[in-house]
C-alpha cells in the first residue's frame, strides 16, 4: 500500500459491534484492560478466545469474514489484525493439515491465564514491546493537520509487512511529487499508445497471414477435388476396359472350348472370319496362298444358312470349294485392284496373269 493510499483510504475508527458483548464476560473484561491494541483487534481477539473456550472444544476455525462482521471492518483488515496478534504472541495461527484454507487459532497461555485469573499485568508488559498500532494512520494524520504543520512523521500501517508513511514537509515537495507523477503518467500514456500501434500492426499482419492461409487452403481443397475426379474417371475407364478384356477372354475361352460337331457354319466358331482365317492359314496350303479367303468364307456361310447344310469341319469344307474352283480354273484371288477369277490356263501352269490381262480377257470381277 502506498503512502497516498494509506492517507486517502477510509479507515473506520468506530467501536466494534456489540454482538460479542453477549459472549464471555470474563474474556471480554480481561482483554478490554489490555493496552496497546486497537478496538477492532480487541473485538477479534475476544471472539477468537470465546470460540476457543466455548463448549470446551479448545479450537477456533472462524473465517476472516466472520471476524470482519464482529469487528465491523473489512475482511482484509481482519486478516491483518490476526497476523499482528500472531506476531505479538497473544493469538497463534497454524495450518495443521498443510492447507491454507484450514486454519486454527489458539490463544497463548499468557492470554488464557490473564482472562482466567483476571490478572492482566504480565500480558500488558508483553504488549509494551509490540509494534501493533494503537491508532490508525488517519488519526495520526488528523492530529498532525490540527497543529497546522506538516512534520515528518513515521506511520506504521496495519499490514503483514510493516510499511512506513512519510508526510511531506512543504508545498514545494508536494508540487515536485505531483510534477513527477504527471511526467510518469505522460510517459506511461506514450508507452501505451506505442503498444497499441504495435498491437494494431500485429493484428493486421495476423489478418493477412490468415487470409493467405485461407486462400492456400481453398486452392489445396480444389486441387484435391480435381484429383479425386481424375482418379474416379481413370478408375471408370479401367473398369470399362477390364470388362471389355474379360468379354474377349470369355469369347476366346468359349471358342477354344468348342467341340467339333455337325452344325451350320453360323453356329460354329468359324462363323467369325478371324477364327476361320487363323485356322485356315494354319494348314499352310500354298495352292491357295493368293485365294480370297473372305470371299469363300462368306460364300460358304450363305450357302450353309440358305440350304441348311451342316458339316463337322467347315475349314475343310471351304478348302474343298476352293479346290474345285482351282481345278476348273475359276479360283477367286485377291489383287490390289479387287477380287478376280483366275484363268484356267493359268491355273494349270501354277502362275497368274496380271489383273490388266485378266480384265482384257473379260474375266469375271466379283468385287
pLDDT in tens, the chain (367 residues): 333 333 233 334 344 444 444 457 888 888 888 877 888 988 998 998 888 888 667 788 888 999 999 999 998 999 999 998 988 888 888 888 777 778 888 898 888 888 888 787 777 776 765 554 444 444 444 444 444 444 433 344 444 333 333 444 467 888 888 999 999 999 999 999 999 999 999 999 999 999 999 999 999 999 999 999 999 999 999 999 999 898 888 777 666 655 667 888 888 888 888 888 888 888 888 888 888 888 988 998 898 888 888 888 888 889 898 989 888 888 888 777 666 665 544 444 444 444 444 444 433 433 3
pLDDT at 254: 65
Q: Are the CB atoms for 44 and 71 separated by under 8 Å?
A: yes
pLDDT at 23: 55
The helix (H) or strand (E) run that includes residue 154 is strand 154-156
Cell numbers 490473564 correspond to 114
pTM of the full predicted structure?
0.34
Q: Are the CB atoms for 280 and 318 separated by under 8 Å?
A: yes
Q: Are the CB atoms for 155 and 132 separated by under 8 Å?
A: no
pLDDT at 14: 40
The helix (H) or strand (E) run that includes residue 79 is helix 75-87
The helix (H) or strand (E) run that includes residue 335 is strand 332-335
Q: How far apart are CA 266 and CA 257, in angstroms?
A: 17
CA distances from 105 to 60, 89, 260, 291 (A): 5, 12, 117, 128
- Hey, what CATH topology would domain 3-134 get? Arc Repressor Mutant, subunit A (1.10.10)
pLDDT at 199: 93
Q: Evaluate the CA torsion angle 19, 24, 26, 32 in order and state its sign.
A: negative
The residue among 62, 115, 63 whose CA lies nearest residue 90 is 115
User: What are the structural domain ranges in the chain?
Assistant: 3-134, 265-360
Cell numbers 484492560 correspond to 33
Hey, what's the cell of 118?
483476571
Q: What is the dihedral angle through the alpha carbons of 349, 354, 359, 360, rounded to the nearest 10 degrees?
A: -80
Angle (CA) 223-225-229 rounded to 5° is: 115
CA distances from 144 to 139, 140, 152 (A): 9, 6, 10
pLDDT at 190: 92
Amino acid at each position: 500500500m502506498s503512502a497516498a493510499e494509506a492517507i486517502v483510504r477510509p479507515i473506520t475508527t468506530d467501536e466494534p459491534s456489540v454482538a460479542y458483548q453477549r459472549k464471555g464476560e470474563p474474556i471480554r473484561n480481561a482483554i478490554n484492560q489490555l493496552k496497546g491494541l486497537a478496538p477492532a483487534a480487541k473485538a477479534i481477539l475476544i471472539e477468537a478466545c470465546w470460540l476457543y473456550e466455548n463448549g470446551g472444544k479448545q479450537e477456533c476455525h472462524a473465517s476472516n469474514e466472520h471476524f470482519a462482521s464482529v469487528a465491523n471492518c473489512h475482511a482484509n483488515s481482519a486478516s491483518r489484525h490476526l497476523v499482528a496478534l500472531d506476531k505479538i504472541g497473544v493469538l497463534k495461527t497454524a495450518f495443521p493439515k498443510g492447507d491454507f484454507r484450514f486454519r486454527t487459532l489458539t490463544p497463548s497461555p499468557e492470554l488464557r491465564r490473564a482472562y482466567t485469573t483476571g490478572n492482566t499485568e504480565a500480558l500488558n508488559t508483553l504488549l509494551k514491546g509490540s509494534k501493533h498500532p494503537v491508532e490508525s494512520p488517519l488519526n495520526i494524520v488528523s492530529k498532525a493537520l490540527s497543529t497546522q504543520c506538516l512534520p515528518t512523521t513515521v506511520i506504521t500501517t496495519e499490514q503483514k509487512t510493516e510499511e512506513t508513511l512519510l508526510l511531506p514537509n512543504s508545498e514545494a515537495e508536494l508540487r515536485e511529487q505531483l510534477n513527477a507523477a504527471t511526467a510518469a503518467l505522460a510517459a506511461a500514456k506514450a508507452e501505451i499508445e506505442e503498444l497499441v500501434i504495435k498491437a494494431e500492426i500485429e493484428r493486421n499482419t495476423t489478418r493477412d497471414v490468415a487470409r493467405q492461409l485461407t486462400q492456400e487452403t481453398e486452392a489445396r481443397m480444389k486441387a484435391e477435388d480435381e484429383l479425386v475426379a481424375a482418379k474416379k474417371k481413370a478408375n471408370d475407364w479401367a473398369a470399362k476396359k477390364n470388362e471389355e478384356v474379360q468379354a474377349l477372354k470369355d469369347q476366346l475361352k468359349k471358342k477354344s472350348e468348342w467341340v467339333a460337331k455337325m452344325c451350320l457354319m453360323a453356329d460354329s466358331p468359324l462363323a467369325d472370319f478371324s477364327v476361320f482365317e487363323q485356322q485356315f492359314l494354319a494348314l499352310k496350303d500354298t495352292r491357295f496362298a493368293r485365294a480370297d479367303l473372305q470371299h469363300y468364307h462368306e460364300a460358304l456361310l450363305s450357302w450353309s444358312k440358305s440350304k441348311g447344310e451342316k458339316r463337322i469341319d467347315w475349314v475343310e469344307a471351304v478348302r474343298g470349294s476352293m479346290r474345285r474352283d482351282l481345278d476348273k480354273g475359276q479360283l477367286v484371288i485377291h489383287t490390289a485392284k479387287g477380287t478376280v477369277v483366275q484363268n484356267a490356263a493359268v491355273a494349270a501352269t501354277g502362275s497368274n496373269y496380271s489383273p490388266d490381262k485378266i480384265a482384257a480377257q473379260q474375266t469375271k470381277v466379283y468385287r
